[in-house]
């Protein structure tokens, strides 16, 4: 872990499992980024307007990284993306956003670590294939809860 912070790239399954209370925590709001496509998938969430403040836009550089991610997915592999089943549309973009964010921040001397938060095994494997650290949804929820408890003790 870097002494210069962390950025957590949130997958759709993590966003839904965290619940509204954790999504509104100071820890989540300050350290999480949500890919634009994940926000599209979360359109029905009651706090979607607040979540948009953490949006990581789909920039040309994200698309560059997305092409690199997709180049490693065999044509017959539907674990990461299965457009015919409307499954996993945001999954490779989660990895691409983390790679783009890491690339952007690594230009600075003091840069945060970029981590992917997901319960999706295919996303986990793909992120790790690109050298990214992955946290489970429950591990990330525990970090939020610990940070919230610490903030309440010091308030």
Fold of 6-154: Rossmann fold (3.40.50)
Domain assignments of the chain as residue spans, ordered by start: 6-154
Q: Please check whether residue 31 is in contact with residue 6, taking contact to mean a CB–CB distance below 8 angstroms.
A: yes
Token duo for residue 25: 């925590």
Distances (CA, A) of 93 to 39, 61, 107, 116, 124: 12, 11, 21, 11, 13
Tens digit of each residue's pLDDT, the chain (155 residues)? 444 689 999 999 999 999 999 999 999 999 999 999 999 999 999 999 999 999 999 999 999 999 999 999 887 777 666 655 555 578 899 999 999 999 999 887 788 999 999 999 989 999 999 999 999 999 999 999 999 998 888 86
Using CA atoms, how far apart are residues 121 and 20, in angstroms rounded to an integer? 24
Query: What is the strand order of the sheet 113-117 is part of?
Result: 55-56, 32-35, 6-10, 113-117, 133-135
Query: pTM of the predicted model, to two decimals?
Result: 0.89
Ordered DSSP codes for the chain: --TT-EEEEEPHHHHHHHHHHHHTSHHHHHHEEEEHHHHHHTTT-TTHHHHGGGEE---HHHHHHHHHHHTTS-TT--SS-BGGGTB-SSHHHHHHHHHHHHHHHTTSSS--EEEEE-S-HHHHHHHHHTT-EEE-HHHHHHHHHHHHHHHHHH-
Q: Is 45 left (phi over 0), alpha (psi -120 to 50) or beta?
A: beta
């Amino acid at each position: 872990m870097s002494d210069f912070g962390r950025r957590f790239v949130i997958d759709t399954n993590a966003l839904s499992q965290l619940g509204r209370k954790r999504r509104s925590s100071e820890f989540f709001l300050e350290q999480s980024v949500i890919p634009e496509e994940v926000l599209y998938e979360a359109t029905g969430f009651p706090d979607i307007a607040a979540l948009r403040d953490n949006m990581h836009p789909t920039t040309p550089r994200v698309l560059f990284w997305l092409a690199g991610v997709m180049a490693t997915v065999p044509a017959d592999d539907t674990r990461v993306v299965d457009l015919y089943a409307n499954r996993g549309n945001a999954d490779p973009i989660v990895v691409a956003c983390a790679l783009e964010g890491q690339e952007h921040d690594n230009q600075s001397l003091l840069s945060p670590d970029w981590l992917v938060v997901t319960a999706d095994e295919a996303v986990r494997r793909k992120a790790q294939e690109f050298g990214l650290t992955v946290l489970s949804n429950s591990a990330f929820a525990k970090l939020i809860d610990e940070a919230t408890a610490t903030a309440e003790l010091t308030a």
